[in-house]
Structure 1
Amino acid sequence: MVVPVSEDLLPIGRFARLCRLTVKQLRHYDDLGLLVPAWTDPASGYRYYRPSQARDALLIGLLRAMDVPLSSVARVMSGDGPDALREARDRIEADVARRRRGLRLLDRVVAGGLPENEVSIVREPPRRVFMAREAATPETIPDATGACVGRLLSRMSPDVLMIGLFPLDMAEEFDVRVAVEAADGDDLLPGGTFASSVHVGPYEEIALTVHGVLAWFGDYGHTPAGPVREVYLNDPAVTPPERLETRVQIRVEDPQ
C-alpha cells in the first residue's frame, strides 16, 4: 500500500541529521534490517522515517561508536540486549587488555630495540607427554593456553615439565597445545636440535624472546621449524611475573 508523505514522516536527510548519522549509514542499516524506514517511495526508492524511530537510530549509532559489532547490535534491537551487551563488553575488555600488552612490549622495544638474546644449540630427546589442545586466534592465545593448562592440572606436580607449543606462522585460527611430560603419556613430543634461549619476565612478553631467537636464525643462516616451544621453568602461582623463567626453543631444520 502506498503511504503518502506527511508531516509525520521525515525524509532520510533530515532524519540522519536528527540522529547524528549519515545517509549512507541509514541505508546500510536498512539493508541489514536493523532500522527499516517507515515508508519507502516505490517510485524513487527514497526512504522516510518517523520521529519516534530516532531513539532506535541513536542507540544504534551509540553502540557502533563504542565498537559494538553489528551482530550484537542486531541482537539488542531484537530484544536480546543485556546478554548481547555483556558479550560485547567482554570482547572489548579483552581487546583493551591485548592492546595494553602490546603497549608494554612496544615500550620495551622503544627502550632497547629487538632483544639480542643469548642463544645456544641444544639437543632435546623425544618425550612421552599428555597433551591438551585448544583452538585459538592470535588474540585468544592466553585464554586458549589457560584452558589447556586447566585440563592438565590433575597431571601436574612441581617436578613435572610443562611445555607450551605454538605455531611458528600465525594463521587466522590454529591450535594451541600444552604438554606435560609423563612416562605413560599417550603423545610423543619429537626430539631434535633446537635453538634455545631463556626468557626472564612475564609470559605476555615472551614474544620478544621468540623474535630474538628468530633473529638469531636470520643472523646465522639457519632455517626455523615450528612449533615454538615454551618450557615453563617455575610456578607462576608462587613466582613474581618479573622473575618467571621460560625456555624458548625453536627447532633447527638444517643444523650445521
Structure 2
Amino acid sequence: MDAPGRDPEPRKDPELLSIGAFAARTRLSAKALRLYDRQGLLPPAYVDDATGYRYYRPEQVERARTVVLLRRLDMPLADIAAVVGLDGEGAARAVGEHWARVEERFAAQRTLVDYLRGRMSGRSPTLYGTFEIRTTDVPEAFVLVERRHVFTDELPAWIDASLARLERAAMESCGGVAAAPFVIYHAEVTEDSDGPAEVCVPVADPAAARAWAAEQGRKWDVRARVEPAHRLAYTRITKAQVVYPQIIGAYDAVEAWLEREGLTSTGPCREVYFAEWDAAGPGDQVCDVAYPVG
C-alpha cells in the first residue's frame, strides 16, 4: 500500500478526481484530506501550481477508507503512515499488534475502575486478592543508584534500561550483584507527577563502584552510596500483579497493615525485584512491595 506519487501531467488523465469529488467518494472533509496530505498518509496525485487545487486518482479511495478505519481504532497518524506503507500481511500484523496494546490498556483501565469503585464506595480497596504482610531485616548494602524524574508511561522502559546498565556495571566492574535490585519512589510517579525514582543495585566492591559512578555519573545521573540497614514491612506479589494498577492493591495492603499495627514508615516505598523477570510466568512471585519501618 505504498503512497502514490504525484503525477506531473495529471490534467491529461480524465479520471482524476477533484478534492470535492474525492471527499464525496471517501466521506472525508477537505480539512481531513489536507491533514492527511501533510502527514504523508494520502498525498494527492497532483496539485495545480496556479490554483492550488488538489486532484486524486480513483484507486486512492481504498487507501483513504483504510486510513479512516484505522483512525477509528484510535491509531495515531504516525502509526497509520507506517501501516499503510506495509504489504498486506505486514499491515495485518501491525493492526493486530496495535489492537493487542489497546486491549491491554483497556484491561488495566477496567481494573482501575473496579478499584476506584471499591475505594470510593467505602469497601476494602484491596481488590486484587489477599496480601500477606511480613517483616524482614535488611543489612547495610553498598549500591549503585540511577535517579530520574519520570512519568508513568516512561517508567517501565526506564527501569528496564537502568537495571540492565547497573547490573552490567556490577558484573563487569564492581565485583558482582550482591543482593536483589530495588526501585525507590521518593514521590508519586503518575501521569502528572514525575517522582523522582531511583533504581538501586547492590554491589560487592564499594571502591570499584565509587570509581565507576564517578566516571559515568554525568551521563546517567549515577551515584554510589551506602543503603543503611533497615527493617521492611512487605507483601510479595506475582508478575501479573506488578502491572499498574493491580500493584496499587499491594501498596494499599501494606499501608493498611502499618496503620493497624500502629507503625509509621521511616522512608520512601520501594519494590524489590528478587526473581528473573523474563523467565517468570504471570503467576510467579517476582517482587516485594515494601515500606521501611522503625
TM norm structure 2: 0.56
Q: Percent identity?
A: 26
Q: 1:166 Cα shift?
A: 4.1
2:203 is aligned with 1:182? yes
**Contact 2:150/2:189 (CA < 8 Å) preserved in 1?**
no
Alpha carbons of structure 1 residues 128 and 103: separation in structure 2 relative to 1, 3 Å: same
- Residues paired across the two proteins, number: 246
What is the Cα-based RMSD across aligned positions, in Å?
Answer: 5.2
Cα distance in 2 between the residues matched to 1:243 and 1:76: 38
2:275 is aligned with 1:231? no
2:245 is aligned with 1:203? no
Cα distance in 2 between the residues matched to 1:242 and 1:110: 28
**Structure 1, residues 55-112: CA drift from partner, whole Å, max 9, x if none?**
33223223333333222333455x4567788667545534432432343343344444
- 2:111 pairs, out of 104, 110, 114, with 104
Q: 1:128 Cα shift?
A: 0.5
Aligned to 1:161: 180
Query: Secondary structure of 1:103's partner?
Result: helix
Cα distance in 1 between the residues matched to 2:94 and 2:162: 22
Alpha carbons of structure 1 residues 178 and 90: separation in structure 2 relative to 1, 3 Å: farther
Cα distance in 1 between the residues matched to 2:138 and 2:150: 27
Alpha carbons of structure 1 residues 134 and 200: separation in structure 2 relative to 1, 3 Å: same
Aligned to 2:43: 36
Query: Secondary structure of 2:59's partner?
Result: helix
Cα distance in 2 between the residues matched to 1:10 and 1:244: 60
2:49 is aligned with 1:10? no
Alpha carbons of structure 1 residues 238 and 95: separation in structure 2 relative to 1, 3 Å: closer
**Contact 2:25/2:61 (CA < 8 Å) preserved in 1?**
yes
**Contact 2:141/2:202 (CA < 8 Å) preserved in 1?**
yes
In terms of fraction of residues, the more strand-rich structure is 1
- 1:127 pairs, out of 126, 138, 141, with 141
2:290 is aligned with 1:248? yes
TM norm structure 1: 0.62
Gaps of 5+ in 1: none
Aligned to 1:114: 125
Cα distance in 1 between the residues matched to 2:102 and 2:197: 19
Query: Secondary structure of 1:63's partner?
Result: helix
Aligned to 2:220: none
Aligned to 1:52: 59
Query: Secondary structure of 1:55's partner?
Result: helix
Cα distance in 2 between the residues matched to 1:177 and 1:88: 36
